[in-house]
A and B are shown apart, each in its own frame.
Chain A
Amino acid sequence: MTADPRVMTRDQAQQLIERTIKLSKADAIQVNIGGGYAANVRFADNRISTAGGVSTANVNIQSAFGAKHAVVSTNDSSDASLERAVRQSEALAKLAPDDPESMPPLGPQEYGEVRSYFDSTANLGPDGRAESARVAIEPCRSAGDLKAAGFLQTGIGAGAVGNNKGLFAYQSGTSANYTLTVRTVDGTGSGWAGADHPDWSKLDVKAVAQHAIEKARLSRNPVAVEPGRYTVILEPQAVGDLVQLLAFALDARSADEGRSAFSKQGGGTKLGEKIVDERVNLFSDPGDQDLLTNTFDGQGLPSRRQEWIKNGVLQKLTYSRFWAQKNNKQPDAGTNAVKLAGGTESIEDLIKATPRGILVTRLWYLRPVDPRTVLYTGLTRDGTFLIENGKISKAVKNLRFNESPLFMLNNLDALGRTSRVAGTEAGGDVVMPVLKVRDFNFTSLSDAV
C-alpha cells in the first residue's frame, strides 16, 4: 500500500526496531520510530510568503532497569548511532530514582486496520501546493478589495512501536490541512474557512476560497450588540473548539483525586450520571470514515471505539496503565480524535428556525479559567452575525465568552449535520455537528476584526 520511498514500510520499521532491541542491555526496552515528509505553502497579503519541505525521521528509545526508566530521542538508522542512543538511555535510566508507578512492558496486542494513507496526498508536489494558494489569491487579487492569507500543510509518514516482549504496531498515514482567512482591504471584514482530511482529493480548495470570500464580504462593518446571554448557532468549527476541551478533562485519576469537573462532592466521580442533554453522544473511533486515525498510541495500546458520553450520561473516563491496574480497570490508549454525533439539519435549517440569535463561525484563544467547571474564556472570530426572524440580518462585532462545554451541552436546542473541522486550536482529528444552544454567555465586546 505504501510504495513511497519517503515512508518507512512495515518490514523496514520492524527490522529497525528489532535491530535496536538487540543492542539493549536493560531489563526492558521500548522503541518508537516515526518519520516522513511534511510540506507546506503559506500565503498572506495576496502572495506566497514562505514554503518548504522537511524530511524527518525519529527514534525514541526508552530503557528500564526495574522501576528506573528514561527516554532518549535521537536517530539515524546506522548501527553506531542507534547504539549510542541505547547506551545513553540506559545511562540515564540507571541514574533515575525509582518510579513507584512504573509498569512492566506491554505484551503483544491486537490492532484494528484503518486505511489512513492516500496516494492523492503523497503525490501532491510543490506546483500543486502553490496552485492551491493561487486558487485563493487570484480571486482576491482580481476583486481588488480583498486580501487572502492561508496555509496548506501536507504530510506523509509512518510510525511504529515495539518492545522486547514482542509488542509491535505499525501504521502509515497521510494528512492534508488547508485554512484560509480573507480580509477586506478596508479592515472591517474577515472570513475564515478550512478543510482537512488524510485524503487530499477530499479537500475542495475552491469551495473553501468561495466560502471565506463570502464570509469576508458579509462580515463588513459589524455593529455592536450588548454582551449577555444569547441563543447561538455554532458552526462545527466553533463547536469543536469548545467540545474538544471536554475530552481533555476526562482523566479518571484526576476525578478520583478530587481535582476534576467529574469529581463528585463528598467523594467518587460522576461516572454513570447524566451530565449533559440526552441527545449528546461523544465518542472516539479510529475506523470512523470521518476520523481515520491512529490504531494505537505511543505506548502501543490499541485505540478502540470509546463512548465518552452516551445519551447525555458520562460513560467513560480514561485510565492510564498504572491507574487502571490500581483500580482493576482496562487501560485506555490516548487519543486526540473525537466525534460528536449530529443530526440531519443544515446550518441554513437551523438559522431559518431562529427568531433571534448569533451565528458563530469559529472561536479563538481559548484558555482555561476554572477547571472545576471546565470553564473557558475566548472570543468569536472571522464571521459573527446576528440572526433575526430566521435570516442573517447583519454582521456583529466579536464577543468574548466565559463558557463551559458542559453548560453549553446542557443548554442544547438542536444538533445539525456533522463535518470534519480544520482549525481547532488544540489540533487533533475532530468531527462536530452544527449546534444551536441557549444562554451562551458573552461577557464583553471586542473591536477586533
Chain B
Amino acid sequence: MTSRRDFLKKTGAAAALAAAGSMLYPGLASSLGAAPIYPHGVGAFEELPIKELLMEALNATKAAGATWSDARIGRYRQNFVGTREKQIVQVGDTDSIGIGIRALVNGAWGFAATQNLTKDGIVAAAREAAGIAKANRVPGAAPVVLAASQSYPNATWKSTFEIDPFTIPIEQKAQLLIDANTEAMKVANVKFVNSFLFFVKEDRNYANSDGSFITQTVIRSWVPFTATAVSTDFSDFQSRGNVVQPAGRGWEYILAADLKGNAQKWGEEAAEKLKAKPVDVGRYDLVLHPSHLWLTIHESIGHPTELDRAMGYEANYAGTSFVSPPEKVLGTLKYGPPIMNIQGDRTQEGGCATIGYDDDGVKAESFLIIKDGVFHDYQTSREQAPWLEAYYKKNNMPIKSHGCANADNWSSVQFQRMPNVSLMPGAQDKKWEDLIAATDNGIGIIGDGSFSIDQQRYNAQFGGQVFYEIKSGKITGMLKDVAYQMKTTEFWNSMDMIGGKSSYMMGASFFDGKGQPPQVGAVSHGCVPARFRNINVINTGRKA
C-alpha cells in the first residue's frame, strides 16, 4: 500500500480538522489521538517522570504474567499550514501524548494504550495488554519467539535537523507558500495552486524488559505543492505536483528547496502539458528520473521484500508477496541485472525512516536486500528474524533483526515497517543527461504520479508528472497521458544503464499505509536515474 491514499486520508483528516474537527468515531480517530491525563503535580509532558512510568508499565505486565514486554511513552506533534492561490486555507497543530504497552504471555501478543499517564492508568493498561494476550492464544499455534538483541540502558538519539520547524512562526510559513503560489500564477493558464507545509515532531521514549531505556527525537518536513493550468475553453486541465520530496530534516530543508525561485518553472510545466502531444501507445525505452523512480522502487521492491508480507501476515489487507516462500527465493531470485544493488538502511542521514533505535529496542543498521541483482535478504523485526534461521545459518549470517519495527503513534502497536530502501549508484559516474544522450526512441519521466500495483507486487502501472519524448539522444518535446505497465522482475531485469554517485537523490512517502488498523509510515528511497528497455506504454486519455 502506499502513500497517495493515505496522504489523502490524512490530509483529509487534517482538512476536516482544519474545518474545525471531524466527527471522531473510534477507529477513525487513532492517529489524531489524545492528550494525556498527567500524574498529580505534573503539568506538562517535559515534567513527566518518564523512566519511572515506563518501569511501572513493565513491572505491571510482569506481575500479570508477561514473559517479555515493552512500553512507549510518546508525544506526536504535527504542524501544518495550507494555502491556495493568494490566500491561507488553514493553519493547525495536533498534539498527542500517551503510552502503549505490549505484553507477551504464553507466546501470544497483547497490546493496550491509554492517554491516562497516572500510575493507576498505566497499571490498568498493562493488565489489559496481558489480559488480551491471554485471550489470544490459539491452540496449536507456534509461540512468538524474539531474536536476541543487545540492551541499551541509557541511549539517546536525534534526527538530522538544523532548525526545528516548530520554532518558526506561522506567518513566516504562510508567506513562503503564498509567495511561491504568486510566482506560479504569473504563468498564462495557471489558475490554481494548492500548497501545504507539513511538519512532524516525535518525542519517543522506549523501555523493554531486556533492560533498554531509549529516548529519541524525530523531525520530518514536507511541502505538497500543485499548480493547475486550465485551457481557456475549459476543454482540458493539467497539473504539476509532487515537486519537493519529504525528508527527515528541518526548516533548513524547506529553505533550500527555494519554492519562490522554482514556482514559475513548475507553473510553466503545468501549462506546457496543456499543449503536449498525447503519447502513441507502444514500447519505449524509459529514462526514469530519481524524482520518479523512488516510487517504483517503493512499490515493486520495498513492499514485496517485507518478511511479514511474504509470510502472509498482511494477506487480508496490503497483501502478500511474489518474493516467497523465503526458502525458494533467498539467494536465488534474479530480481535484476548485476548492476542492481538495493540497500535497506535506517541510518541514512535525512531519510524519513531513519532512526537511532527501532520500536523493538534494536539499533538501526544498513543491510543489502538485493546484491548484484540477486535477492539477498528481507526486512525484519525481532519476531521475524528467527523465521529465516535456516538461511542465515547456511550462509553464516547472524540471526538478528534488521531493526524495522515501528509504530506510528503511542496508540498503535509496532510491527514491521519499511526502512529506507535505495538503489545504489553505479560504478561509472553517469548523469540523467548521459542516459538521455544514449537513448534512441524513448520517454523521459520526471516526478511521481499515479501508481497502482497488485497485492503480490507482480503487475504495476505508473504515471508521472512531466514526460519528454526522446529521439536520437535528444529531448524533442513534451508528451501527455503517459503511463507504463510492467511486470516487476521483467522490468528490473530490463534496466541496462544507471547513474553514478553524483546523480543520486532521495524521494519519499510521508504517509505509507500498512496494517490493520492502518498505520502510516514515512520512508525515503534514494536512487540514481536509470534506463529500462522496451517497456509497454499506454495512453490514459479518454473522452468523457
Contacts and interface: CB of A to CB of B under 8 A. Distances in A.
Interface of A: 30-38, 40-58, 60, 62, 69-76, 78, 80-81, 88, 92-93, 95-101, 126-127, 129-130, 133-134, 137, 141, 147, 149-151, 153-157, 159, 161, 171, 173, 175, 177, 179-181, 183, 187, 190, 192, 257-259, 261, 263-267, 294, 296-299, 334, 364-373, 375, 377-379, 381, 398, 400, 402, 404, 406-407, 425-427, 443-449
Looking at B4, B17, B38, B516, which has the most chain A CB atoms within 10 Å of its CB? Answer: B516
Interface residues of B, number: 112
Given A44-B315, A183-B312, A159 B23 contact: yes
Contact of A443 (B131, B320, B538): B538
Contacts of B23: 32, 34, 159, 161, 171, 294, 296-298
B505 interface: no
A126 B90 contact: no
A33 B22 CA distance: 9
Contact of A334 (B16, B320, B454): B16
A30 B21 contact: yes
Contacts of A88: 93
A54 to B, nearest CB: 5
17 contacts: A34-B22, A52-B112, A52-B113, A52-B413, A58-B34, A98-B87, A126-B132, A155-B28, A159-B24, A159-B25, A171-B23, A173-B25, A177-B27, A183-B312, A265-B235, A365-B454, A407-B542
A322 to B, nearest CB: 11
B24 A35 contact: yes
A141 B139 CA distance: 10
A43 B191 CA distance: 49
Interface of B: 1, 4-5, 9, 16-30, 32-38, 43, 87-96, 108-116, 128-129, 131-133, 135-138, 140-142, 169-171, 174-175, 178, 191-192, 228, 230, 233-237, 311-317, 319-320, 322, 324, 411, 413, 415, 450-459, 461, 463, 481, 483, 485, 487, 516-517, 536, 538, 540-544
Looking at B26, B129, B451, which has the most chain A CB atoms within 10 Å of its CB? Answer: B26
A377 B35 contact: no
A130 B459 contact: no
A58 B38 CA distance: 15
Contacts of A30: 20-21
A425 B518 CA distance: 11
A115 to B, nearest CB: 15
B26 A157 contact: yes
Looking at B4, B22, B136, which has the most chain A CB atoms within 10 Å of its CB? Answer: B136
Contacts of B96: 73-74
Given A400-B461, A427-B28, A58 B33 contact: yes
A153 B25 contact: no
A373 B236 CA distance: 11
Given A54-B30, A379-B455, 8 more contacts: A40-B516, A44-B313, A97-B178, A181-B316, A187-B324, A366-B452, A369-B463, A426-B9
B316 A151 contact: yes
B12 to A, nearest CB: 9
Nearest to B79: A92
Contacts of A173: 25
Looking at A49, A154, A373, which has the most chain B CB atoms within 10 Å of its CB? Answer: A49
Contact of B454 (A72, A298, A381, A404): A381
Contacts of A371: 237
A209 to B, nearest CB: 13
Nearest to A152: B516
Contacts of A101: 87, 89
